[in-house]
Chain A
Amino acid sequence: MSRGRKKRILIAKPGLDGHDRGVKVVARALRNAGMEVIYAGLHQTPLQIVNAAIDEDVDAIGLSILSGAHNTIFPKIISFLKDRGASDILVFGGGTIPKKDLKNLKSLGIGEIFTTGTDTHEIIDYLDRTLKR
């Protein structure tokens, strides 16, 4: 009966650009790996994303950022989570993010950044490893 605790992941694409094909591929892959994916869609503000993550009690937030806004959006998410006492929620991301920024983002508390084109298995493995609560 007890199937154990299911992983719940919020997937969103903040920022202005308008395609969601890539994020949806990731969302589907996570579903196919047995996770419950809450898909919040495009154009979400950091506050909306954090509110949704808390209401949905997700284990992780996955963000796709292509617009180059990573240096503002990620820090905002981390800081809103902290404000709400929800820093235990893992934040990871994907997109075109310059190498020089990766280190800084990780030191802020972003779990991992996957560059565009990463095999979805890598993301699944990462989540399986990291989310053992």
Chain B
Amino acid sequence: MKKKLSTDEMVKRLLAGDRRSAARLITLVENEMDDHHRVMSLVYPHTGKAMILGITGAGGAGKSTLTDHLIGKFRNQGKKVGVVVVDPSSPFSGGAFLGDRIRLQSHSRDDGVYIRSMASRGYLGGLSRATYDVIRIMEAMGNEVVIVETLGAGQDEVDVIHIAHTCLVLVTPGMGDDIQAMKAGIMEIADIIVLNKADLDGADRSLRHLQGALTAGSFEEGEWMPRVVSTVSVANKPEDLQGIDELTETIAEHQAYLRKSEVMDQVKYDRVEQELGLIFKDELQKIIFRGLRGTGKKREYIESIIEQQNDPYSVVKEVLNNYLIPGE
């Protein structure tokens, strides 16, 4: 009953689009299980072609509801769609409540849509190295669009821009109309600002504020100037929905802009640089902690920091000098 497939066999099935293998492999990389690195090496050659769309914004802004509509638009274009939804883990228990599927139901019978909920497992900004791996696995599965939904309320939580090619930031009427800093933050992250819940009071005012902030920003000739699109993602009648076609077109325009300019090369370069950095960070930490383990040194260092006989920076410097850069 519980047939255990080899990793290589699972990757083979993944490449043929098999959901169960995709699901298993994602668990494997999420938990950094034994074959993690091998899986990613096998998967990597089959990636790099999908459009990666980031959707971020405050809790309850309507990210999942809107994603549900966007999935439909991409499906109409005949594209297979993968969705990763990242929610925070509880800092106390390490557990998580992942409830986004409730609003991602329109396509639950569609074989061309694969949705995966992920807990952030302690990474600020919500995007761990595992998120990159999961996106890669979804690409290798044959999805031409991968949507990444993350919670982002402030400027520190914008990791998604390091992954996505096109980044949507959702705001809602009244939210932060007067907070200059937030606007500046949004301008930096967003390729497209989505004013969702445009059916609510204050939408016009918010739209004016956002547009005002955009024209005040300075953009160079040929550079993409962020666009604002108003949307209504929930309505009793489908004809009362608003802005979803316009948003889909604006996404396509941004994609066309990326393809036409050299920006895409830079975007790809930045993404790989970021990814490489994360992997180095994780792996080096592992090597160092492994090296210290058994020597009793790790405990010694930590206790010396707690007792204020030492500080973390000096410890890191000492350890790096001793273990990594011998002779220096």
Interface residues of A (CB under 8 A from B): 1-6, 8, 27-28, 30-41, 47-48, 51-52, 54-57, 84-88
Known A1-B285, A32-B95: A40·B121 in contact at CB below 8 Å: no
Nearest-neighbour CB distance to chain B for A68, whole angstroms, equals 24
Residues of A within 8 A of B102 (CB): 39-41
Residues of B within 8 A of A47 (CB): 109
Assess whether A38 is in contact with B117, with CB atoms less than 8 Å apart.
Answer: yes
> Among the listed B27, B93, B105, which residue makes an inter-chain contact with A34, where contact means beta carbons less than 8 Å apart?
B93
Residues of A within 8 A of B22 (CB): 55
Assess whether A6 is in contact with B97, with CB atoms less than 8 Å apart.
Answer: no
> Among the listed B24, B114, B115, B289, which residue makes an inter-chain contact with A1, where contact means beta carbons less than 8 Å apart?
B289
Nearest neighbor of B110 in chain A, beta-carbon distance: A51
Q: Please, what's the 1-or-0 string for B12-54, where 1 marks a CB less than 8 Å from any CB in chain A?
A: 0000000110111011000111000000000000000000000
Assess whether B117 is in contact with A30, with CB atoms less than 8 Å apart.
Answer: no
B window 85-131: CB within 8 A of A: 89-90, 92-99, 101-102, 105, 108-109, 114-117, 119, 121
Docked pose: A1 CA to B130 CA in angstroms: 13
Docked pose: A34 CA to B27 CA in angstroms: 16
Residues of A within 8 A of B99 (CB): 39, 41
> Among the listed B3, B31, B93, B96, which residue makes an inter-chain contact with A5, where contact means beta carbons less than 8 Å apart?
B31
Residue in B117, B119, B285 whose Cβ sees the most chain A Cβ within 10 Å:
B117
Known A52-B108, A54-B23: A36·B31 in contact at CB below 8 Å: no
Assess whether A48 is in contact with B109, with CB atoms less than 8 Å apart.
Answer: yes
Assess whether A31 is in contact with B96, with CB atoms less than 8 Å apart.
Answer: yes
Nearest-neighbour CB distance to chain A for B194, whole angstroms, equals 24
Nearest-neighbour CB distance to chain A for B133, whole angstroms, equals 14
Assess whether B31 is in contact with A40, with CB atoms less than 8 Å apart.
Answer: no
Docked pose: A84 CA to B22 CA in angstroms: 14
For chains A and B in complex, what number of residue pairs have CB atoms within 8 angstroms?
91
Docked pose: A10 CA to B89 CA in angstroms: 16
Known A1-B282, A84-B20: A57·B97 in contact at CB below 8 Å: no
Docked pose: A54 CA to B108 CA in angstroms: 12
Residue in B3, B89, B95, B115 whose Cβ sees the most chain A Cβ within 10 Å:
B95
Residues of B within 8 A of A27 (CB): 97
Docked pose: A6 CA to B121 CA in angstroms: 10
Known A51-B108, A54-B23, A55-B114: A38·B98 in contact at CB below 8 Å: yes
A-B residue pairs in contact (CB < 8 Å), sample of 29: A1-B286, A3-B94, A3-B121, A4-B31, A5-B27, A6-B121, A31-B93, A31-B95, A31-B96, A34-B94, A36-B89, A36-B98, A37-B96, A37-B98, A38-B98, A39-B97, A39-B98, A39-B99, A39-B101, A39-B102, A41-B102, A48-B109, A51-B109, A55-B23, A55-B114, A55-B115, A56-B117, A57-B27, A87-B1
Nearest-neighbour CB distance to chain A for B288, whole angstroms, equals 11
Assess whether B23 is in contact with A36, with CB atoms less than 8 Å apart.
Answer: no
Docked pose: A40 CA to B98 CA in angstroms: 9
Residues of B within 8 A of A32 (CB): 90, 92-93, 95
Docked pose: A48 CA to B121 CA in angstroms: 27
Residues of B within 8 A of A85 (CB): 3, 20
Residues of A within 8 A of B90 (CB): 31-32
